[in-house]
Amino acid sequence: MNDGLARRQVGESAAGERPAVRGFILASDLRALRGWLPGGLDDLLDALSADERALCRSVRPTAWVPLELIERLLAAAAGALNVRPAELADRLGVALADQKIASLMGVAVRARSPELLVSNAGYLWVSLYSPGEATISLDLPSHKRIEVHGGPPHGPAVCGRNLGFGRRALEMTGATAIRIVHFRCISGGDPHCAYDVQWGEGGTAR
């Protein structure tokens, strides 16, 4: 796991206390939305400030980008595509997994093990988001619970993305009958976010 991404240690926050995501999330979103929006990115970028436009055009993959910008882009794109923001965030999570899973989770994916992938949830969180940390609160074979504490207040850009990303990343390890339920969410008033993750082996759900 030495790809230089996880420079933020657990308990440490990047970009001051400002909720932030990695630059490669912004780059991945823009790449996907360019293909999905009928008119490309022009309308989306026109609605931003000059600084934000410049950031979008030359974002460094390892830079920290304000979460608020990602949320705003998601809302605007969902409006243009006439889909729910949570649904679009899920699709963006799938696109992110397709683009970045190899470098983020190279060891886990080569091992083709869903167990190993999920056991890296803490590493993934600090690689993608600031602040907060992800821990595994239930650890059974093919059934885990992941809790995120101290995470940024957020809308669907985080949780919807995590659902799509997690599902796709598990598929890429060969897991089948994948079921991820986001049963607690700070955007719904809960003190933290929690995900229940289950999968089957060889096509048999447990």
- Tokens 């986001």, residue? 182
Nearer to Zn ion, 139 or 190 (CB): 190
Angle at 147 between CA 90 and CA 199, to 5 degrees: 60
CB of 161 to Zn ion, least distance (A): 10
CB of 110 to Zn ion, least distance (A): 30
Nearer to Zn ion, 91 or 154 (CB): 154
Determine if the peptide bond prior to 131 is cis (ω within 30°): yes
Nearer to Zn ion, 25 or 27 (CB): 25
CB of 169 to Zn ion, least distance (A): 17
How close are the terminal C-alpha atoms of the chain, in Å? 30
Nearer to Zn ion, 159 or 178 (CB): 159
Q: How far apart are CA 144 and CA 139, in angstroms?
A: 5
CB of 154 to Zn ion, least distance (A): 7
Q: How far apart are CA 205 and CA 113, in angstroms?
A: 16
Q: Which residues bind Zn ion (CB under 5 A)?
A: 159, 185, 193
